[in-house]
Each structure stands twice: as structure tokens, then as C-alpha cells.
Structure 1
Amino acid sequence: KLFNLSLYITFFPQLVAGPIIRYNSVAEQLSKRVFSSIQFAEGIKRFILGLSKKVLLANPLGYVADTVFATPVMDLSTGSAWIGIIAYTLQIYYDFSGYSDMAIGLGKMFGFEFAENFNYPYISKSVSEFWRRWHISLGSWFRDYVYIPLGGSKVAPWKMYRNLLIVWALTGFWHGASWTFIAWGIYYGILIALEKAGLEKIMSRIYPLNHVVVLLLVMIGWVFFRADNFGYAADFILAMFHSRGNVIFDSQALALLSINWIPFVIAIMVAAPIFPKLQKWQFSKPITNVQNVFALLIHCFLFAEVILYLINSTYNPFLYFRF
């Protein structure tokens, strides 16, 4: 038992940025691990996909976001502000989901099966659904160890709203000891409390505009998450909505978009469940050797692209390390 516990604590694939793995979810695998070459091959493919997300999508988008957020707000056009926050919205998703994919892939290579940590959060129809799809292991941890012990939703309505605010304030604090993180957490606590009070039903009646509303609310939240202080966050949001008299589109916005439009297009496409649906359609038919070879070539191509990118670039931020 002590050996298994020590192995669980030191299991490196999930230590730094992988999904939060609880002991009871892998206890049986620690003592009765089944290893197969098929599982190992699946792990390699999952690791390559995660690495590709991080290097080929998160990194170039992160460069765009850093460029915009390093610009004084008074010099930002509305277009640059939107390009910056969209880039950051995609960067943080591909950075963290990429690391989660790598952890899940490494786990498979060692014979372990980890639960999924992301499930296409940007297609959500409500903020509550977004958090059921984003960082699933963290959400379930706070639900089981904080929200339910406080009484969960099986209490008076005002206590349920109090529980939500406590959980989300702690979620913000978990990401960092900064008032902007705590405000970000409380922001989501208020939004989810409003949805519990009836806003979610109203949102469901305006489909498909509810997708747009949720994305807008999430991006506003990411501004607070990314900004160093409240003043910058407020000014950046004002720049997004053209409330400071900023120009709508300038040379910076045009340059960022013209140079980085390919990562933007690919990132937006991959953020939607297009490829899983294609795979599901393919799996309904017998898989041929040609399809297997094609899949192998795609993974080899992605891995080669990652290597070339890392050789030619010095920009490789570890975004989620500080959280």
C-alpha cells in the first residue's frame, strides 16, 4: 500500500499540469496494471496531438496575446483588443488541454487510463456547461470536497448561492494569490448563481445566440485572468467595446492578423468537435490499411512540425505552470 501511494504521488505525467488524478481512480490500476502495445501506440498518438496543440497552436497564439497585452491600452485599437483576447482565449485552452493530452498519453504509454480533462468547452450553451467541460478534474474536485460538504444545492436557495460564491472565490484563489484571480472566480460564481436562478432557462430560448453570449462572457472573464490589475482589465474591456474613442482597426491589428491568420483558423476549427465526428463516421465503416497509414503519416508530420518549430523558435511559454 505504501509503495502504491508513493508511486501515485510521484507519478510524473500528471504532476505539473495534467488532470487532477485521485488515488481511488487509479488504485486498482496501480496493483493490476494491464500493458499492451496497442495502448502504448494510442498513448504516443495522444501525446503527439497534445504536443502539437501546445507548440503549433498555443505558442503562436500566445505570442499574439503577449504582443497585444504588452501594448499600452491607450494605444490599442478595438480590433487589436479583440485579436488579443481571442488569441489568449485560444492559447489558454490549447496550452492546458495540450498538457492534459500529453499527460493522458504518457499514462497510456505506462499502462494507465486517465479521465478526460477537457470536452470542447467553447461550444457550451451556458456558463455552467462551460465549467462542466473545462478542467473537468478541478471542477469535480471542488464539487466533491467543497461544494457538497457545504450543503451543495440541497439547502435553502440563499445558502446555495453562498456555497457557489465560496467555491468560486476559492477557485480563483487556487489559480493565484492575486485580487484579479479572486475577482475572476467571483465573476463566475455570480454568473452561475444567476443561471441557477433562472438565467440558464432564458439562455436556452435564444439558441444559437446563447453560444455567442457564453463566449463573450468567457472572454471578458479571461481579460481579468490575464490582466495584472483591475485598472488595466477595465481599460482593456472598454477598448474592446470602443468606449474610449480608440480607432476600430489599425496597422498593428492588420499585421497580427495577416501574419497569424493560419493558426487562428486552425485553432477555431479544432476547438469545435469536427474531427471527432469525422472519426465517428469513419469508425462506422471498416478501417482499411490505407486509413491506418494515413493516420500514421499525419502524426509523423505533426511531430516533425513540432521539432522544426522548437528548433527555429525560442518562444515556448509554460502558461499554466504558475497555476
Structure 2
Amino acid sequence: MLFNSLEFAIFLPIVFILYWFATNKNLKVQNLLLVASSYLFYGWWDWRFLSLIMFSTLVDYSIGCLLFNQENKIRRKGLLWISIIVNLGLLGVFKYYNWFLDSLYYAIPSLKVVTGFNTLDILLPVGISFYTFQTLSYTIDVYKRKLEPTKDLIAFSAFVSFFPQLVAGPIERATNLLPQFYTKRKFSYPLAVDGLKQILWGLFKKMVIADNCAEYANLIFNNSNDYSGSTLVLGAFFFAFQIYGDFSGYSDIAIGTSRLFGFNLMQNFAFPYFSRDIAEFWRRWHISLSTWFRDYLYIPLGGSKGGLGMKIRNTFIIFIVSGFWHGANWTFIIWGGLNALYFLPLLLFKKNRNNLNIIADGDFLPSFKEFFGVIITFTLTVFAWIFFRAENISHAISYIGEIFSPSLLSIPQLPKKSLIIVALVAFFMIIEWIGRENAFAIEKLKFANTRVIRWCFYSFIIYLIGMFMQTSQTDFIYFQF
């Protein structure tokens, strides 16, 4: 079920009414409603994949219970590895098995005859990368004794399958989200209004910015041999705002929807395109995944505390694994490695934590140094996105090769309608800039000091959604990851 679908527009009010008016007197029944609603939400794509969520839930719930009473260090570690192998094993089969075999047979063709293994005709379950990491965080935290295991299977099932963030995050930690299922929720009008505003902004990001940028990004990337270097630059630009609007839009809708039910999810995007260096960008982009890798991979490997060799190794590991998490394609690995190269000088010269505050903090406009840093960081990010979007490495190389050709100086070959999309992106970024100190751009409208102005602005956003939304439903881009 898509957030931007008629089905969800019917589904959400029904669940909301049942949640607050029919089950609000009994916490366990309320949680059970969330589990049933989440399974319906997820099963709308393919009910067969519900068995994977149920299996993963039961495995990690059982291991958590066993860890609680187990003091033997070897057995505890064995239980943890069972959880890791089961969860990553499922992820590996569905997401990487065919890619691994294809890569192996391409490198050594004779192996196909010797082994006799064939690729599998299987679909990638939607959201498997997200809920796998969410359940893993639970068992790891229980193993490290940062969290007591739950004995409430319904609450744990609701934590794993919570429908607002099930498919594309944020990847919640059990330490944050799970305790919220133990506590009786009370309806909060301000929290619900805040949630509706975030949902509205998320829909604008997705249906106006992302979907319209996707139209031109797909046209240019899918026919890159037919376009000039200047047009290819625009294609990369359109994809940069497609993926940001699409993914951060999903996160906004997920967080806003959660607030309607009395839950607080972590912020997943913090205006990343206003970052002044790559380190700041990765503190602001897909925060739930970046911090997951930091806490469960980078720090256990030694982080940045070791020698020069260890620092370089750990940096490349974290970024390449992040690229690999996104999908079974060498382009994602190159994208991760490229970001590691961007990040490494900042780490080695101890400048990776220079920009911890908000850009232009307390001022309306950035300094020249900040503005220059944003332009350089955005340019490097857009360049890396070319590998992320390209079909394969040769496509990315040919795309980049044409950009750095004399045709870069030509006039872009796009219809005039694309100028409207550029104007919408400019409007979008202005609003994001004005609201950059908040959790989301329109949380507090500084330019709207009266209710009339605020409602005029919200009405204008709704008007833009109605004017520029696609006639057919469009998937969120991160569903493929």
C-alpha cells in the first residue's frame, strides 16, 4: 500500500478511528490493532512476504528471551550469531544471491558448469533491508545489555511491523520505539496537527518535487547517448532532487503518521543539501541508517581511534557496506567508495566534526565560506549520484564522459515545461532554507505570523499537489532497496 494512494487515504482514517475510539481503553488490544493494520498494509503488496516478517519477529523475540536468562558468554555470543545469520541470511538470499552468482560466473564462466547452481526467480520483498536492520538492533542491544528483552510478543510484533516506517524507515532502534508500545498513549491535538503538517510536506516532496523531477531524470538517464553534456548535468540535478524529495518525503509521511497515533520517530533527514562538507552531509542524510552503521559496525571496528591504516580501512568499510546495503549492483559499491574518498581527507585532518551547528545559525544568509562549502558539497554529491542512478558502471562512465566534453557548453535540450519544475525546486529549497532550524521545513512558518497566512500557505501546497501530481501512482524510490 502506497502513502500516495487512494487505498491509504481510506486505510489511515479507519485505523485512526478504531485506534482512538474503539481500542484506546486497552493497551494490548490497541497494539494488536497496530499489528493487524501493519500486516494488512504490508500484505497489500504480496501477502506471501508476511511470513518473512513473522519469522524474523519470532526468531528475534525468542533469542531476546533466551539471552535474558543466559550468563554463559559463549552461548550468549552463539545466540547473537544465530540472529545475525538468520536475518542477514534471508536478506542475502532475496537481495544478493542472484547478483553474487552472476558476478561469479562473469568472472569465472566455467564455474557455472562445475557448480550447476542457477539464479533464482524470486522477488525482492519490499522493505526487507529496513525491518531486518531494525530487528537486528534489538538483539544486539539485548546482547550488550543496553536493553531488557520484552516478554510482550504483541508489543514486539508491533515494533517490528509498525506500518508507518515498515517499508522505508526510519530504521528505529528498539531502545527508542519499543518502550513506546508499553506506555498508554493519550491523544494529543498539537502532536496530531504537527503530524498532519509533516504529512502534507512529505506529500509535496514526493508528488510535486520527486515525481516531476523523476520524469526528466528518467528521460535523460535512459537516453543519455542522445543528449549533450549540459543536458546530462541537468539530468543529474533532477535525480538529486528526485531521490531527496522521494526518500525524505516518505520519512516525513512516516513520522507524521506516527504522531497521529501518539508515537515519536527519529528524524531521518535534516536538510542535507545545505551541508558544508561531506561529513555534515552524512550526519544529515538517512540519519537512521548512518547512525546504525556507526554504532553497530564502525565503532566495533575501532572507529577513528586507531592508526592511520585502521582509520582508512574503517572509513572504506562503512561506506562500501552502506553502498552494498542499497542494492546488488557494482554501481552502489562505487558510489559508496566515492563517498569514502570524499570523507577521508576530513577524517585524516580531523575536520570531520567542524560543522555541527546549523548553517547560518542565527542569520538569514550564509557567509561566503558557508555558501562555497554548500556548493562544493552539493556538486560532489550530485556527481556521486550519477553512479547511484546509472544502470551499470559503463553507463555511468559514458554519462560522465559526455558531461566533460565540449557539449557541456551547449544549451540544454529539454522542453520548456522543465523550467516550471526548476522553479518548483527553487521554491521548495527556499521553504526548506527558511525552516532549516526545525525538524521539518513547515513545522513553524516564520513568515506566517497569522492563522490566515498559514492556512493560505497550506492551501497553496495542496493546490500545487493537485496541479502537479502524476495521473498514475508512483512507487517510492527506496522500495527497491
Question: Shorter-chain-normalised TM-score: which range?
Answer: 0.7 to 0.9
Q: Kindly report which structure 2 residues correspond to 1:179-198, keeping only aligned pairs within 5 A, or say none.
A: 179-198=330-349
Match of 1:162 in 2: 313
C-alpha distance in 1, partners of 2:284/2:272? 5
**Partners of 1:59 and 1:315 within 8 A in 2:** no
Q: Kindly report which structure 2 residues correspond to 1:218-297, keeping only aligned pairs within 5 A, or say none.
A: 218-241=381-404, 243=405, 245-246=406-407, 248-250=409-411, 252-253=413-414, 255=416, 257-270=418-431, 272-276=432-436, 291-297=450-456
Q: Kindly report which structure 2 residues correspond to 1:58-207, keeping only aligned pairs within 5 A, or say none.
A: 58-73=210-225, 75-198=226-349, 200=351, 207=370
Change (3 A) 1:95 1:185: same
C-alpha distance in 1, partners of 2:163/2:251? 12
Match of 2:134 in 1: none
C-alpha distance in 1, partners of 2:466/2:261? 23
Q: Percent identity?
A: 35
Match of 2:31 in 1: none
Q: Following TM superposition, by how much is the alpha carbon of 1:262 offset from its aligned partner in structure 2, in angstroms?
A: 2.3
**Partners of 1:184 and 1:225 within 8 A in 2:** yes
Q: Kindly report which structure 2 residues correspond to 1:202-221, keeping only aligned pairs within 5 A, or say none.
A: 207-221=370-384
C-alpha distance in 2, partners of 1:303/1:281? 17
C-alpha distance in 1, partners of 2:196/2:453? 16
Amino acid at match of 2:434: I
Amino acid at match of 1:314: S
Q: Following TM superposition, by how much is the alpha carbon of 1:78 offset from its aligned partner in structure 2, in angstroms?
A: 2.2
Match of 1:316 in 2: 474
**Partners of 1:61 and 1:87 within 8 A in 2:** yes
Mean CA deviation greater in 294-303 or 106-115: 294-303
Amino acid at match of 2:313: R
C-alpha distance in 1, partners of 2:408/2:418? 16
Change (3 A) 1:207 1:41: closer
Higher helix share: 1
C-alpha distance in 1, partners of 2:379/2:350? 16
Deviation string, structure 1 residues 114-141 (Cα, Å, up to 9, x no partner): 1111111111111111000101111000
Aligned residue pairs total 313
Greater relative contact order, per chain length (Cα 8 Å cut-off, separation 6+): 1
**Partners of 2:201 and 2:442 within 8 A in 1:** no
Change (3 A) 1:232 1:279: closer
**Partners of 1:126 and 1:211 within 8 A in 2:** yes
Over the aligned positions, Cα root-mean-square deviation in angstroms equals 2.7
Change (3 A) 1:279 1:64: closer
Q: Following TM superposition, by how much is the alpha carbon of 1:304 offset from its aligned partner in structure 2, in angstroms?
A: 4.7
C-alpha distance in 2, partners of 1:268/1:45? 17
C-alpha distance in 2, partners of 1:160/1:35? 48
C-alpha distance in 1, partners of 2:442/2:219? 36
**Partners of 1:14 and 1:20 within 8 A in 2:** yes
Secondary structure, aligned partner of 2:409: coil
Q: Which sections of structure 1, spanning at least 5 residues, go unmatched?
A: none
Q: Which sections of structure 2, spanning at least 5 residues, go unmatched?
A: 1-151, 356-367
**Partners of 2:224 and 2:399 within 8 A in 1:** no
C-alpha distance in 2, partners of 1:297/1:47? 17
**Partners of 2:199 and 2:252 within 8 A in 1:** yes
Change (3 A) 1:101 1:165: same
C-alpha distance in 1, partners of 2:475/2:423? 20
Mean CA deviation greater in 168-177 or 27-36: 27-36
Change (3 A) 1:211 1:297: closer
Match of 2:458 in 1: 299
Q: Following TM superposition, by how much is the alpha carbon of 1:99 offset from its aligned partner in structure 2, in angstroms?
A: 0.4
Q: Following TM superposition, by how much is the alpha carbon of 1:174 offset from its aligned partner in structure 2, in angstroms?
A: 0.4
TM-score by length of 2: 0.60
Match of 1:51 in 2: 203
Change (3 A) 1:89 1:182: same
Q: Following TM superposition, by how much is the alpha carbon of 1:275 offset from its aligned partner in structure 2, in angstroms?
A: 3.3
C-alpha distance in 2, partners of 1:87/1:72? 14
Match of 1:30 in 2: 181
- Return the index of the structure with the highest Cα Rg: 2
C-alpha distance in 2, partners of 1:301/1:281? 16
Change (3 A) 1:46 1:81: same
Change (3 A) 1:233 1:23: same
Change (3 A) 1:256 1:96: same
Q: Following TM superposition, by how much is the alpha carbon of 1:315 offset from its aligned partner in structure 2, in angstroms?
A: 6.4
